[in-house]
Copies of this chain bind each other. A is one copy, B any other.
Amino acid sequence: MQKTFLIATHNEKKKNELLRILSPLGVDVKTDKELNLTLTEAEENGETFYENALIKAQSGCKESGLPCVADDSGLMVDYLAGAPGVYSARFAGEHGNDKKNNEKLLKLLKDVPESERTARFVSVVCCVFPNGDIISARGECEGKIGYEEIGNGGFGYDPIFMVDGKSFGELSAEEKDKLSHRGKALLQLSEKLKDYMSL
C-alpha cells in the first residue's frame, strides 16, 4: 500500500492521534500542511458521525485530488439519550471549549448514580477516493462519566471518561490508542484499506 493519503482535520490533537495510529499500520498519511495545501473547513452539519466523517473526507479529497481520511467522533452518554453525540465539540456552545464542555456534563450528571453514568466514545473514520469509492470503519469504547476531571493527557472529554478506574486523561498515548474508539476504528480502517488497495 504505497499511496499517500491526506488527513482532513483542523484539530491539531486529533491530527496527531491519526498520524500516530495510522503511520505504523503502513498507511502513508500526510497533513494538508505537509502537502502545502490549505483545506477549507467543511461544514459538519450531518446527523450522524458517519455523515460528518464523510462530509470532511469528501471535501478534503475533492480539494486535494488525493484519497482523504477523516474522523468524526464524540461522546454518547446513556443518561442523556446519547447526547452530546455529534455535538460533542460544541456542547457548551460555539464559544465553548473542552473545559466548559466537561463542566457542563459533570453538572448535568451531578446527582446521577454511578450505575447510570455509562457512556461510550464513538469514532467513525472514512476514506474517500478520487473515483468516489468510500471505505469506512467504526470504533466504540465503553466507559463511565466520572465526577471530576482527572489527568492532563488526551483532549476533549478524556479527563472525565473512566475505563477500569482510570480516566482517558491519565493514560499514555500508547495505552489510549489500544483502548480507544479512534484506535479501534483506525485499525479496522487500515485492514479494510489493505484489502481494498490489493484488489
Contact = CB atoms under 8 A, between A and B. Distances in A.
Shortest Cβ-Cβ A-B pairs, 6 listed: A83-B83, A81-B87, A81-B84, A81-B83, A80-B83, A47-B48
A91 interface: yes
A102 B90 CA distance: 25
Contacts of A90: 81
Contacts of A91: 81
A84 to B, nearest CB: 4
A82 B82 CA distance: 9
A25 interface: no
Nearest to A93: B116
Contacts of A47: 47-48
Interface of A: 47-48, 80-88, 90-91, 108
Nearest to A85: B81
Nearest to A49: B47
Contacts of A84: 80-81, 83
A88 B83 CA distance: 12
A82 B91 CA distance: 10
Contacts of A48: 47-48
A12 to B, nearest CB: 24
A154 B76 CA distance: 30
Contacts of A87: 81-82
Nearest to A83: B83
Contacts of A83: 80-85
A101 to B, nearest CB: 10
A89 to B, nearest CB: 10
A81 B80 CA distance: 9
A87 to B, nearest CB: 4
A80 B79 CA distance: 11
A198 B56 CA distance: 40
